[in-house]
Amino acid sequence: MRQCVFLSCPHAVSFSCVRNRGFILHLSNMTGESQGKRASVFPSKKKTEKKSDTQDPVKNFEKWKKKYTKTKVRVKHEKKRNKKPDWQIERDNIKRLVDKYSEINVKDAVKFSDFPLSKKTLKGLLEMQYRQPTEIQRQTVGFALQGKDVLGAAKTGSGKTLAFLIPVLECLYRQQWMAEDGLGALIISPTRELAYQTFEVLRKVGKNHEFSAGLIIGGKDLQHESERIHRTNIIICTPGRLLQHMDETSTFHASNLQILVLDEADRILDMGFADTMNAIVENLPKTRQTLLFSATQTKSVKDLARLSLKDPEYVWVHEKAKFSTPATLEQNYVVCELQQKVNMLFSFMKSHLQKKVIVFFACCKEVQYLFRVFCRLRPGLPILALHGKQQQMKRMEVYNDFIRKKAAVLFATDIAARGLDFPAVNWVLQFDCPEDANTYIHRVGRTARQIFAMAARAVARGAQVRNARRHGIAESRNLERLRPLADGGLSPECFLRSAFRD
């Protein structure tokens, strides 16, 4: 049997495939083309080891880490390339919030997070430990987010300040307001102290937003305010100072105003700012949102309609309540001789050395005189005075000092009766009888725990009590009379009761 094998012939397979297929195939696999096919089917040991090293971090961690890092960087670049710009993400978030406004149900809103609020506002509320809204906040925020005008009234201390600050922040956030846009929100307060307090709350709750805010009140440099007012987005002010800037500051413009807030609106009118408010409203654009708040409301609606409320939503939180004072408030009064009033006040202070007390007087001169007298008497706790004849910086210093102290006595006129939030006040003493029930309500609103009223004179004792009853003060909530001793002090039973209540 012949076997023809041509090792040098490239067609060896064709010639010998019939006689000895297996042997010739074995030889022909030595050609370059077949070697390539065989290498692809049977990978070499060296390449297999290399591939397994990059996939197994145990055998070669450095190679595996290098490959993993490259993959991670590539994925990161792809995500960054496909990511939307920040302004577009912000606009999409705003659109989602606005779409939810029509679905707001105030009855289901138990927490602030139940409202469609921006993350920046919610973060500020949580940082200030505000989680659950009060009744006035729950109802007002729902209407205000939908762009409606609101006329709100609630008991003092119910949280009206936060009820309008949240809509102010959300209104400007929806518009993506910037410093170049100018004035977007205007908040008018009756007194400097209330404006300062509102500004402090805004600074804490809205610190995560990029809006600029300013406090425009009397007693400060007008030129300093004029240089910065044109780039201020939110202005908190008093009526007189605002009108002065409207008349004298050429860079002040309110043509872009989005929302107007009137805090303690009835007080603004009672203080004689009716003409001032008329002039201010005439200089404001008609297409705006208006929120009006107060602890008490006048019977006439003409003054409120004059403030250009358009189809407002009425929020009367305690409309069915019999009394305008908080339910936790306990009230007492003492009838005494005129010459014994100072003695009784001193004995009360000596028996409450670890308490925080506010004493209201009728006028500035009375505050100044008794402040000097009690500083000489040294009752054993710090005494502060707050009245309208003080310089603005001094008033702010007294306000902050009383807030920081755990035990102190503040002698004040009605300048401290409206809207100011003094934390942990144990007692409010009314050395002189208030003029009307509204003043009484605002005075006792500085505390929600107890009220001690001294309102009597020997010659007009019966007249003052009858006057209090006529205004509904003495019968407001079981107002109880305490009997003084012959020496001018309170009876031991009264001290025992006050110590027990505290």
| Count of all residues that appear for the chain in the document | 502
280 is a domain residue = yes
8-state DSSP, 83: P
Mean per-residue pLDDT, 462-480: 51
User: Of the ranges 148-157, 360-369, 416-425, which is most confident?
Assistant: 360-369
Mean per-residue pLDDT, 148-171: 87
49: containing domain: 12-82
Nearest-angstrom CA–CA distance, 492 and 489:
9
Mean per-residue pLDDT, 66-74: 80
Say yes or no: 335 and 310 in one domain: no
449 is a domain residue = yes
Over residues 235-293, the pLDDT tens digits come to 999 999 999 999 999 889 999 999 999 988 878 877 788 888 888 988 899 899 999 88
Mean per-residue pLDDT, 178-192: 92
338 is a domain residue = yes
Reduce the DSSP state of residue 63 to 3 states and report it. helix
The neighbour count for residue 230, using CB atoms within 10 Å, is: 15
Q: Which of 82, 110, 139 is the last residue of a domain?
A: 82
- The answer to whether the CB of 502 falls within 8 A of the CB of 426 is yes
Q: What is the mean pLDDT of the chain?
A: 76
Mean pLDDT lowest among 376-390, 401-415, 418-432, 438-452 = 438-452
217 is a domain residue = yes
- Total domains present in the chain: 3
Say yes or no: 311 and 336 in one domain: no
Say yes or no: 478 and 406 in one domain: yes
Q: Which of 26, 57, 82 is the last residue of a domain?
A: 82
Split at pLDDT 50, 70, 90, the class of 380 is: confident
Mean per-residue pLDDT, 73-81: 75
Specify burial of residue 366 (Cβ count, 10 A radius: 0-12, 13-18, 19+): middle
Residue the block writes with tokens 């012959």: 486
* Three-class secondary structure assignment of 254-278: CCCCCEEEEECHHHHHHCCCHHHHH
Say yes or no: 132 and 214 in one domain: yes
Distances (CA, A) of 250 to 187, 195, 233, 234, 338: 20, 24, 17, 18, 55
User: Of the ranges 187-191, 387-391, 457-461, which is most confident?
Assistant: 187-191
Say yes or no: 106 and 74 in one domain: no
At 280, which CATH number?
A: 3.40.50.300
Nearest-angstrom CA–CA distance, 268 and 262:
9
Mean per-residue pLDDT, 186-193: 91
- φ, ψ (nearest 5 deg) of residue 173: -65, -40
Distances (CA, A) of 456 to 163, 342, 371, 409, 421: 38, 12, 20, 21, 28
Note the pTM of the prediction, 2 decimals: 0.67
Say yes or no: 267 and 384 in one domain: no
89 is a domain residue = no
49 is a domain residue = yes
Nearest-angstrom CA–CA distance, 297 and 305:
13
Helix (H) or strand (E) holding 496, with range, is helix 492-501
Say yes or no: 481 and 335 in one domain: yes
Say yes or no: 284 and 341 in one domain: no
Over residues 83-122, the pLDDT tens digits come to 777 778 888 899 999 999 988 988 888 999 999 999 999 9
User: Of the ranges 161-165, 351-355, 426-430, which is most confident?
Assistant: 161-165
2 is a domain residue = no
Nearest-angstrom CA–CA distance, 441 and 437:
6
Say yes or no: 74 and 163 in one domain: no
Say yes or no: 147 and 241 in one domain: yes
Predicted confidence at residue 162, as pLDDT, reads 93
Residue of 275, 271, 269 lying closest to 298 (CA atoms): 269
**Percent of the chain predicted with pLDDT > 90:** 28
The neighbour count for residue 108, using CB atoms within 10 Å, is: 9
Q: Which of 55, 82, 109 is the last residue of a domain?
A: 82
191 has a pLDDT exceeding 80: yes
78 is a domain residue = yes
Predicted confidence at residue 170, as pLDDT, reads 96
Say yes or no: 280 and 402 in one domain: no
Distances (CA, A) of 452 to 163, 360, 399: 30, 11, 22
Say yes or no: 169 and 134 in one domain: yes
Predicted confidence at residue 419, as pLDDT, reads 59
